[in-house]
Chain A
Amino acid sequence: MQTLRICDIGLSIDASLAFHSMLKIVSGRSVASWQTSDADHADVLLVHVNSNPGALSAWTSSGKPAVLVIDDRASWPPAPFVLRYPFRVMQLLSLLDSIAEHLRSRSTRVPSDGAAWAGAVSLRHLMAQTGDRGWHIAHAGDRSFLWVGDGQAHGLPATLRGLREGSVTLGAFSAATERPPAAAQACALRDVAWWVGAHGPAELAPWLRPDAAYRVHRWPDFGRLGAVPHLIELAAEASARAHLPAELANRAGCTPGDAHRFLAAASLAGLLTSFTRAEVLEHPKAATPARGAWTRFVADLRRHLLRVA
């Protein structure tokens, strides 16, 4: 059985005593064996949402999970692990099991679909390089290629159309010895990056984090890139404020896969800003979509336009 250590910080005396008592009750019922420890040796931090922001910030930067303890359901923060005081034994047990599962899956998380991400990861590295990068080439489908050089992508019209439509998959880039053929067309590298992400795997891109919040600082040009309906909803939500990936999907009313693809596309195209959980907690928000005449009317308008367009 997996042994995990947990440390509580900033809780009231009552809350801390309750937590330690309940930890004994759940002993033997959880999927992991839980022990208390100090912060330096803990795998998980249990911290009150309004206390010790410095410690929380340092903790989240380490990548270890934190459970945020709240006293008021109305101020539920957009974080993956939240526990409301007064605690309930079964809620604590469920939360601890979720964290244990999260840690286990993270430790075994590998680029499970490495081949599917090869093109995106390779393109991302290429775009991050500065100076003269020379020419690089990658397979785009079985028999066609995409060149990157002079700050642009170059490919035959059918290849670029295939990338735009998602009918071809981009492979990893390697240094090219030949320039693109005369029939190749130039295309903005950012546009290709968007298409590669938008048509990529449904899982969260390997360079993005499920516990980080993301916001778009610039909208993609959907007039030029082409837009399917859910992408506009996702962009609107992600420009209004930062969201965790799971929260973004929920807000925009789309699947997690759609949200993951959107985030990958926006990230590859350089349109995304990431925030740590501590930064998001500076502006805690509830997770319930707004209801009211105004919102219903706007939603009706959006649906109407979708039907008639």
Chain B
Amino acid sequence: MSTVDDGEFKIVFTGPMGAGKTTAIAAVSEVAPVATEVANSDLIAHTKASTTVGLDFGRITLASGQIVHLYGTPGQARFRFMWDILGRGAAGVIVLLDATQAGALVQMDMFVDAFLPLVPSGALVIGLGRTTLPGALGSEAFAARLGARGITAPVFSIDARQSRDVFLLVRTLACILEAQANAEAAA
């Protein structure tokens, strides 16, 4: 697990292409995020003009001077080798999904399966975008899917463009980590 002592505390934002990972990191990072975007060559998967092929990077500095690193992964499965590099040792993972996408539930399964083994704490938060649009699945469907797999994780309807909503996800992740630490200390 990333630790305070080794100077590495990272939170990973992941999810399929077009879910809002780059936007979410930009919404909460205190510095202009480093992005590795190129023209989107997979217009079937998503019609957006550009997409991340390497990583997004942002930062939050606490009053103590300690730093939280925010990493965004590429969304396309062909860059999966980057998922392992970025996810390994993360303090927690935030999966962003588009609730209007066909197969969003399967996408959630894929990203949860890919990242949870890399995150020792198992701290997971799901951010669900575009839930108010026609045809969108509600958060209950995603929570029930996780529950059927024995995973109790928050699933929040959010707008990744709103920093308030992205802070809600990060803050919830911090609360989960704190509660886990309390429970482990009590065990």
Contacts and interface: CB of A to CB of B under 8 A. Distances in A.
User: Is chain B found bound to chain A in the same assembly?
Assistant: yes
Interface of A: 190, 216-219, 221-224, 227, 229, 232-233, 235-237, 239-241, 251, 283, 285-302, 304-306, 308-309
Q: Is chain A's interface secondary structure helix, strand, loop, or mixed overall?
A: helix
A30 B155 CA distance: 51
Contact of B164 (A240, A283, A298, A309): A309
B168 A295 contact: no
A142 B165 CA distance: 34
A201 to B, nearest CB: 25
A282 to B, nearest CB: 13
Given A301-B174, A306-B171, A309-B164, A295 B182 contact: yes
A190 B185 CA distance: 34
Q: Is chain B's interface secondary structure helix, strand, loop, or mixed overall?
A: helix
Given A224-B139, A239-B179, A309-B171, A217 B152 contact: yes
A236 B186 contact: no
B157 A221 contact: yes
A288 B185 contact: yes
Contacts of B45: none
A240 B63 CA distance: 27
A204 B9 CA distance: 39
A295 B181 contact: yes
B183 interface: yes
A217 to B, nearest CB: 6
Given A219-B155, A224-B157, A236-B178, A300 B62 contact: yes
Contacts of A285: 183, 186-187
Given A239-B179, A285-B187, A302 B174 contact: yes
A260 to B, nearest CB: 19
A160 to B, nearest CB: 15
Contact of A287 (B5, B63, B157, B186): B186
B71 to A, nearest CB: 16
Of B66, B154, B184, the most chain A CB neighbours within 10 A belong to B154
B168 A227 contact: yes
Contacts of A222: 154, 156, 168, 172
Contacts of B171: 229, 232, 302, 305-306, 309
A216 B178 contact: no
A301 B62 contact: yes
A123 B64 CA distance: 47
B170 interface: yes
Contact of A298 (B60, B174, B185): B174
B44 interface: no
Interface string B55-84: 000001011101010000000000000000
Contacts of A240: 176, 179-180, 182-183
B117 interface: no
A305 B60 CA distance: 9
Interface string B101-130: 000000000000000000000000001100
Contacts of B184: 290
Contacts of B127: 223
Given A219-B153, A285-B186, A236 B9 contact: no
Given A217-B147, A309-B167, A298 B178 contact: yes
Nearest to B176: A236
A191 to B, nearest CB: 11
A235 B139 contact: no
B131 interface: yes
Interface string B143-157: 110010000111111
